[in-house]
Amino acid sequence: MCGIVGYIGDGNAYNVLVGGLHRLEYRGYDSAGIALVDNTGKLNIYKTKGKVNSLEAFCKDKNTESKIGIAHTRWATHGEPSDYNAHPHFSEDGNLALVHNGTIENYKVLKEALIEHGCHFHSETDTEVLVQLIEYIRVHNDCSMLEAVREALKQVVGAYAIAVIEKGDPDCIVAARKSSPLVVGVGDNEFFLASDASPFVEFTDNVVYLKDEEIVLIRRGEPLKLYSLDNKENEIDVRKLEMSISQLEKGGYPHFMLKEIFEQPSTLHDCIRGRVVNDGKYITLNGVNDNKETFMSARRIIFVACGTSWHSALIGKYLIQDMCRIPVEVEYASEFRYSHPVLTPHDIVIAISQSGETADTLAAIKIARGMGAFVYGISNVVGSSIPRETHSGTYIHVGPEIGVASTKAFTGQVMVLTMLALTIAELKNTMPKEDIERIAQWTLRMPELVEKVLGLAPDIERLSLIYTYARNFLYLGRGYSYPVALEGALKLKEISYIHAEGYPAAEMKHGPIALIDAEMPSVIIAPKDHLYEKIVSNVQQVKARGGNIIAIVTEGDDEIRKIADHVLEVPEVPECLTPIITSVPLQLLSYYIAINKGKDVDMPRNLAKSVTVE
């Protein structure tokens, strides 16, 4: 949540930082700010409520000359979005400026102590407490900023990624992280710092991912220095960045979300590449074959995830139970962590997270590890925290997902889960070899079939006009289509702000059926699978109550066509692969409805891409 950028070098810091903030805006966009030290040693801090564009407008007539600076785009946790709560925050004497991503849990105690020592505060944020504390320590201990940061962080309970600059030392940035991401870009005579590498991908591909409780000293003209909180010098591990600038641009699409929906044929291809090989005869997934015994002897699998990733996990449950005959539970990471979970070393916990940074999922992983379970991670962002915290895992390889509403990550996760289930089934011999091979061959066809589904876009755009002003939607599905219904409803809610409920179709008659009337459309996911006849009767039940029906059906389905008001036909695929095919029209439907309503689909209100706070 919140994005941090820092720069030190010979270039124009303002331009680098503002460009970087635009790239990080997906992380939060309720206010933005920048701190720069000019060549006279003056610390200029500019911040405004609103998006990065508002900050740029605000800075138009300001002095933005500088070769060092830090900047921030905010997703509010403590204190409403406002100019004064925006970052950077500064020490009372105006010597330090600091940006922060995360939450300082003990900020109230620290604040009270500082007030007793005569400090005055200008904001309601936990962040201001941190910068005042660092300066207080620096002045009272007569120490360097690096030492003061270290001492202050020892007193802090919570999560942080921070960057600090000092008026009197325009050649240095001190930064640190704990449970919130931070990466340093190492260029020629310049350094970059950011919550992820996207702000500096065009400047350098040499990166250093900070570890938890690591402090970095970035000094102009000198090599980086990394320290632990107890002041041991750590080794610098410079990695090569796997990200290209074109992945971060809209590539001619009006929105990242639409680009990412249309990218799915190629992201699915990337996701499968090198994993389903030899025409489906061989499947290999990182971290599974090298932990064969663990997967073969697992007594139970527990998924932990949030939001869209939780919906993928639910599909994972169907896949693993069907193919591997292992009992599976699916938990919201936020509930799991406080539910006194009962785990044993015979359990495998699988954490799914696009960002690899979701705080609740990370906390669930720590609990699971602590209880002796084997933890496997499925994430998208290389170098993020979850792959580091798990025993083993794999990436979905769908490239940076920038639209706040997850689309290509969802289909990538489901594809990885399919390959995971097939791999375990093969190890455990729970499925005939020819069935495994047949499904593996179908996975190879998914890019082409999703491409075909995308051809429905013009029809869906027209259809969206009919339902743009509906106030409520019901999404129904059974079996593998039930999580798809949940996901379809979430997509609509988050970008169009229309209330939508996903429900298991058969459960509808136990309550939600009372809501059905001509005003409330039902989207029914009804591909030809082993529950097809059952869902046909659910379609009839909705129709009998005067409801309007949009049905997602398999090509050539005449039965539902006769009952539903609108049908969207998708290609026939094996049942376990239907979620990948049926979720795509739902992504498009929510996109077009939101566009018709004039909503900002890439930055929906109150949301942010990665939720690094509880």
Binding site for ligand F6R (CB under 6 A): 306-309, 353-355, 358, 361, 405-406, 490, 494, 610-611
Contact 467, 495 (CB under 8 A): no
Q: Return the number of the residue (180 or 541) whose C-beta is nearest ligand F6R.
A: 180
The tokens describing 10, both together, are 């010979």
Is-contact 613 77, C-beta < 8 A?
Answer: yes
The structure tokens 């969802």 sit at 410
Closest residue to ligand F6R using C-beta atoms: 307
Measured CA to CA, the distance from residue 551 to residue 543 in angstroms comes to 12
Token couple for 564: 């539903």
Prior bond of 88 cis (ω within 30°): yes
Catalytic site residue from 51, 178, 599, 609? 609
Minimum gap (Å) between residue 518 Cβ and ligand F6R: 29
Whole-angstrom distance, CA of residue 317 vs CA of residue 417: 9
Q: Which is nearer to ligand F6R, 170 or 483 (CB)?
A: 483
Measured from the CB atom, is 308 or 548 closer to ligand F6R?
Answer: 308
- By beta-carbon proximity to ligand F6R, the closer residue of 490 and 526 is 490
Shortest Å, Cβ 304 to ligand F6R: 10
Give the residue with the Cβ less far from ligand F6R, 539 or 611.
611
Half-sphere exposure of residue 344: CA atoms within 13 angstroms, side-chain side: 5
Closest separation in Å from C-beta 495 to ligand F6R: 8
Q: Which residues pair with 472 in a beta bridge?
A: 499
The nearer residue to ligand F6R, 409 or 573, going by C-beta atoms, is 409
Residues comprising the chain, all counted = 614
Look at the alpha carbons of 463, 464, 470, 474 in this order and tell me if their dihedral is positive or negative. positive
Of the candidates 68, 107, 105, the residue with the CA atom closest to the CA atom of residue 88: 68
Smaller CB separation from ligand F6R, 396 or 439 = 396
Side-chain-side CA neighbours of residue 407 (13 Å): 32
CB-nearer residue toward ligand F6R: 267 or 610: 610
CB-nearer residue toward ligand F6R: 326 or 402:
402
Q: Quote the least distance from Cβ 411 to ligand F6R, whole Å.
A: 12
Task: Compute the 3-state secondary structure of the chain and give helix, strand, coil in percent, each to the nearest 5.
Answer: 40, 25, 35
Q: From the CB of 593, what's the least distance to ligand F6R, in Å?
A: 15
Residue 112 is inside which H or E element, if any? helix 107-116
Q: How would you classify the pairing of strands 328-332 and 300-305?
A: parallel
User: Residue 334 CB, nearest distance to ligand F6R (Å)?
Assistant: 10
With CA atoms as reference, report the closest residue to 351 among 297, 398, 299, 388: 388
Contacts of 296 (CB under 8 A, 6+ apart): 424, 427, 428
Give me the least distance between CB of 365 and ligand F6R, in Å please: 11
CA nearest to 5, candidates 80, 69, 83: 69
Indicate the SS3 state at residue 249.
Answer: coil
Those residues whose C-beta lies under 8 Å from the C-beta of residue 551, and which sit 6 or more positions away, are 523, 524, 525, 526, 539, 560, 561, 563, 564, 566, 567, 568
**What is the 3 state secondary structure string of 371-398?**
CCCEEEEEECCCCCHHHHHCCEEEECCC
2 catalytic residue (yes or no): yes
Distance from C-alpha of 32 to C-alpha of 87, rounded to nearest angstrom: 7
CA triplet 71, 75, 77: central angle to 5 degrees? 115
| Distance separating alpha carbons of residues 394 and 86, to the nearest angstrom | 37
We find the least distance from the C-beta atom of residue 395 to ligand F6R, in angstroms, to be: 13
Q: Least distance from C-beta 526 to ligand F6R, angstroms?
A: 23
Of 354 and 554, the one with the shorter C-beta distance to ligand F6R is 354
Instruction: State how far the Cα of 408 lies from the Cα of 417, in Å rounded to an integer.
Output: 14
**Considering the complex, what minimum distance in angstroms separates the CB of residue 330 from ligand F6R?**
14
For the annotated catalytic residues, the residue numbers are 2, 609
